[in-house]
Structure 1
Amino acid sequence: MKVLAIDDQKLVLIPLESRLKELGYEVATEVNTLNGIEVFNSFQPDLVIVDLNMPDNSGLEVVKHIRETKNLTTPIMILSGNTDDEMITQSFDLGVNDYMKKPLSLSEVCARVKRLIGLPKITNNKITHNNVIIQQRCVGVVIPCYNEEKRLLSKEFTDFIIKNSGYHLCFVNDGSKDKTLEVLNNLKKGREDFITVYDCEKNGGKAEAVRQGMLFMSKKEDLDYIGFLDADLSTDLADFDDLVKTIETSDFKIVSGSRISRMGADITKESARKVISLTINFIIRKILKMDFKDTQCGAKIFHKDVIEISFGKKFVTQWIFDVEIFRRITLHFGLKKAKKMLCEQPLKRWIHADGSKLSMKDSIKIIGQLGQIAWYYRSKQTNNLKIENNKHLNLVTKTA
């Protein structure tokens, strides 16, 4: 029995293809509507699974080709994040047999496949991964690593990508002096579709490691959102997924985690660090002119269209680049619009991990770096105002 699956997001197709093959089906996949139609003609599948929202042509073109052009009754299942009632109705009017809304479990998808076309005569009873979720969106996560050989929680990362399709992890080795690169390459082995290792030969600091990783991941066409997360998982992956759910169901361009102590949350910090954090946060709020509670949380997710604005140029500082990101957004869009684009979301859990690279002495240095940011971006704002004034003056002169 043959199944053709068409979806522009490869991260969705990979677990689907793997599970269907485990069940004994012969599977072909395509990420492009027109190519999918060509494969349908040559492959002659017993079932077609197709997404609706694809960048080139809607998946409905596949349905029309099968039902109207070819006049065939081949079973068709829609697997899509599109919940528009009119689109769903149109799909059934064209003759689709089933409509599944993402996100949903891979087990449910396979159960519906079996209901429509049955099981192959030869099946594999061994299913490697259970409880896998087919997501509506695809997310890239940049994880900066410096001398993480002994701290990297490899199993937590691998367990997460097994159960959550649509995630691609990019570990950035920031010139580590221990065996971090070896650990990361072993972690990637056999998971190349879901894990990338980006190697910076020289240590450039967390800011540059994150920047390089974010720009690298932004080139992947099938990713909707890209974020970064600390390697020690002081913010866990489930909390990060909550940030993703917020950005995909809102108009926010950036959703930032916040380590605010609140009822029901597991937030722990060292008391001395907490005092310094409060001092630093007061200065940051003055610089940004925003009531941010926690700019420095190492868990943030970005809409793809603000990556270049946020990370295109090198940061002035090594550690508090988060403040620079928000300052860049306010300079580019204006303070009023920027406030509507940014969301600070309290985390359910944040634990200070032993072995942190940031010492108390370093924390004091941050105050000096905040001064650098205030001066550097104020001068940029002044220059921008001069350019705008000159443009206005030239326009007035021309119309006079």
Structure 2
Amino acid sequence: MKILAIDDQKLVLIPLEIRLKEMGYEVITETNANKGIELYDSVQPDLVIVDINMPTISGLEIVKYIREEKKSNTPIMILSGNTDDDMITQGFELGVNDYMKKPLSLTEVGLRTKRLIGAPENMDATKKYSNTIIQERCVGVVIPCYNEEERLLSKEFTDYIDQHTGYHLCFVNDGSKDNTLQVLNNLRKGREDFITVYDCEKNGGKAEAVRQGMLYMSKQEDLDYIGFLDADLSTDLADFDDLVKTIENSNYMIVSGSRISRMGANITKESARKIISMTINYIIRSILKMDFKDTQCGAKIFHKDVIDISFKDKFVTQWIFDVEIFRRVTRHYGLEKAKEILCEQPLKRWVHADGSKLSMKDSVKIVGQLGQIAWHYKGGNKK
């Protein structure tokens, strides 16, 4: 039994193809809708699975082609993040057999596939599959790494992407002196479509590692949003996903995590570090002219449209490049517009990890770096 799956996002097609092949189906995938139509004619599949929102032509145009032009009754299943009632109605009026809304379970996709075209003869009915979720959006996450051989929580990363499709992790090795690069390459084995290792031969600091990773990931066409996260997972991936949900369901262009202590949240900091942090944040709010509670949290997500504005030029400072990002956005859009597109979201969990690269001495140096930012970006708004 042959299945043709058409979706412009590769991160959606890969786990779908793997699951259906495991079940015994023959699967052909295509990210280009026009080529998908050509494949339909040559492959003559038993089932077509198609997304609606694609950049060249709509998935509904593919449905029209199959039903009206080819006069075919080939079963069609739509997997889409489009929840518009008129769109769903139009799909069924054109003759689709099933319509599933993302995010959705691969287990459910498999069950509905069996209902539509039956089970392959070689299918193992006793086999149990993990309940992987296909997300509505695709997200790139940059993780800067410097001498993380002992601290990298490899299993937490791999477990998450195995259970949540739509995530592509980009580990940036920032000229590590230990075996970090080897650890990262081992982490990538078997998950090459979901993990990238970007190697910087020389150590350039966290700011440059993040910048290089963000610019690299912005070139990947199937990603909707791109963010960065600390390698020690002081902010975990579940909390990061909450930031993603906020940006995809709002008009915000940047959503930044915030380590604000509040009821129901697990936020821990060293007391001395907390005092210095409060002092620095007061100065930062004065520079940005925005009431940010915590600019330095290492978890942020960006709409692709603001990546170039935020990361095109090298940063002036090493540790507080986050402040520079917000300053660049303010200069580009103006203060009032910047306030509308920037969001600070409290985290449910943040734990200070042992082995942090930022010492108390570095914290004191930050005050001087804030002076550099104030001087470098002292000009008025650039719109």
Structure 1 CA distance for aligned equivalents of residues 105 and 297 of structure 2: 31
Give 1:61 deviation, angstroms: 1.3
Q: Secondary structure at the match of 2:345?
A: strand
Which residue does the alignment assign to 1:362? Answer: 362
- CA distances 1:261-304 after superposition (whole Å, capped 9, x unpaired): 00000000000000000000000000000000000000000000
Deviations 1:161-204 (A, max 9, x none): 00000000000000000000000000011111000000000000
**Structure 1 counterpart SS, 2:380:** helix
Q: How far does residue 357 in structure 1 lie from its aligned partner after superposition?
A: 0.4
Counterparts of 2:15 and 2:309, CA distance in 1: 33
Alignment-mate amino acid for residue 156 of structure 1? E
Query: What is the aligned length?
Result: 383
1:123 matched residue in structure 2: 123
Task: Return the alpha-carbon distance in structure 1 between the equivalents of residues 63 and 290 of structure 2.
Answer: 49
Give the Cα–Cα distance (whole angstroms) in 1 for the partners of residues 265 and 101 of structure 2: 31
Match of 1:252 in 2: 252
Question: Using the alignment, how far apart are the partners of 1:261 and 1:157 within structure 2?
Answer: 26
Aligned residue in 2 for 1:78:
78
- Does the 8 Å contact 1:129/1:162 carry over to 2? no
Q: Tell me, which stretches of 5 or more residues in structure 1 are unaligned?
A: 389-400
When residues 295 and 126 of structure 1 are mapped into structure 2, their CA distance, relative to the original with a 3 A threshold, is farther
Q: Partner residue of 1:381? A: 380
Which residue of structure 2 lines up, in the alignment, with residue 392 of structure 1? none
Give the structure 2 partner of residue 315 of structure 1. 315
Q: Partner residue of 1:288? A: 288
Q: Is the Cα contact below 8 Å between 1:288 and 1:327 reproduced in 2?
A: yes
When normalised by structure 2's length, the TM-score is: 0.99
The code of the aligned residue for 1:350 comes to W
Note closer, same or farther for the CA distance 1:261–1:126 as it changes in structure 2 (3 Å cut).
Answer: farther
Note the alpha carbon deviations across 1:24-75, whole angstroms, 9 max, x for none.
0000000011100111111111110000000010011110111001001000
The SS at the match of 1:315 is coil
Cα deviation code 1:136-180 (max 9, x no counterpart): 000000000000000000000000000000000000000000000
Separation of aligned partners in 2, 1:124 and 1:58: 35
Q: Secondary structure at the match of 1:185?
A: helix
**Moved segments of 4+, more than 4 Å:** 125-129
1:238 alignment partner in structure 2: 238
1:274 is matched with 274
Work out whether residues 107 and 129 of structure 2, in 8 Å CA contact, stay in contact via their aligned partners in 1: no
Q: Unaligned regions of 5+ residues in structure 2, if any?
A: none
Q: 1:125 and 1:197, CA in 2 relative to 1: closer, same or farther beyond 3 A?
A: farther
TM-score by length of 1: 0.94
CA deviation vs aligned residue, 1:85-130 (integer Å, no higher than 9, x gap): 1111111110000110000111111111111111001014576851
Q: Secondary structure at the match of 1:211?
A: helix
The match for 2:330 is 330
Aligned counterparts of 2:332 and 2:186: Cα–Cα separation in 1: 41
Counterpart-to-counterpart distance in 2, 1:67 and 1:46: 14
Task: Report the identity percentage.
Answer: 79
SS in 2 for 1:73: coil
Cα separation, partners in 2 of 1:251 and 1:103, compared to 1, 3 Å: same
**Cα distance, 1:102–1:354 mapped onto 2, change above 3 Å:** same
One-letter amino acid matched to 1:55? P
